[in-house]
């Protein structure tokens, strides 16, 4: 079992967390999970949902796309970092090549912490912006960026048209209806999903004056 200080030191090695201060890293150190890895094991596959960032404590992990090995990470290095801001499929495979240990920071745990700490989100965004700029400059074909200078796909345009055509209907929430947590709302915003809604029943129409039938309105 690693100490909190050891976990903080390891988490600092993730480029998306290197702007985060030690006090906030200490909070994240409380929610990370230690995951043992064994040579030959597949940690995740290409089509698995991206749900956690991993930091290698001991051992080595090979990352592959199709039949091509793209990189290998060892102690102090991170993989699966996009999972904090993107919940789509991984797009690559992670396999253990040497027995060891990793720390896993799950996205839902991260946003539960970030829901009460706006500065933590700001520090993550700054680190993300630096990484995206570096990708655009060094490897533009691999930069996962939407925005200026990128032609919208047909599917993207259709999705925007459908969203514009929908008029949201607002109903008053039921008094005891469960509300989405702040962490779930932040996570949805970060990965581009609609904010979670509570399952509240429709508000009944107030009755009219005595003796008045619905038809007489």
Q: Does domain 4-114 have CATH number 1.10.10.10?
A: no
Q: What are phi and psi of 9, to 5 degrees?
A: -60, -40
CA distance 111 to 65: 28
CA distance 35 to 33: 6
Residue where the block lists tokens 């290698």: 56
Give pTM, 2 decimals.
Answer: 0.62
CA distance 97 to 106: 23
Q: Where are the domains of the chain?
A: 4-114
pLDDT tens by residue, 34-88: 999 999 999 999 899 888 999 999 999 999 988 888 889 999 998 988 788 777 8
pLDDT tens by residue, 147-171: 333 444 454 455 555 555 554 545 5
Q: How many beta carbons lie within 10 A of that of residue 128, not counting itself? A: 18
């Amino acid at each position: 079992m690693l100490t909190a200080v050891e976990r903080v030191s390891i988490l600092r090695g993730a480029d998306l967390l290197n702007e985060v201060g030690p006090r906030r890293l200490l909070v994240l150190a409380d929610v990370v999970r230690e995951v043992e890895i064994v040579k030959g094991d597949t940690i995740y596959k290409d089509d698995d949902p991206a749900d956690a960032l991993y930091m290698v404590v001991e051992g080595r992990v090979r990352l592959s796309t199709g039949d091509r090995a793209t990189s290998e990470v060892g102690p102090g290095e991170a993989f699966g970092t996009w999972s904090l801001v993107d919940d789509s499929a991984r797009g690559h495979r992670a396999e253990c090549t040497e027995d060891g240990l990793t720390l896993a920071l799950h996205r839902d745990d991260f946003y539960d912490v970030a829901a009460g700490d706006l500065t933590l989100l700001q520090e993550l965004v700054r680190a993300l912006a630096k990484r995206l700029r570096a990708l655009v400059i060094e490897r533009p074909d691999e930069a996962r960026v939407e925005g200026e200078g990128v032609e919208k796909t047909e599917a993207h345009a259709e999705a925007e048209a459908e969203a514009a055509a929908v008029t949201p209907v607002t109903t008053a929430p039921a008094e005891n209806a469960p509300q989405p947590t702040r962490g779930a709302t932040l996570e949805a915003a970060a990965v581009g999903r609609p904010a979670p809604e509570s399952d509240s029943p429709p508000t009944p129409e107030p009755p009219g004056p005595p003796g008045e039938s619905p038809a007489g309105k």
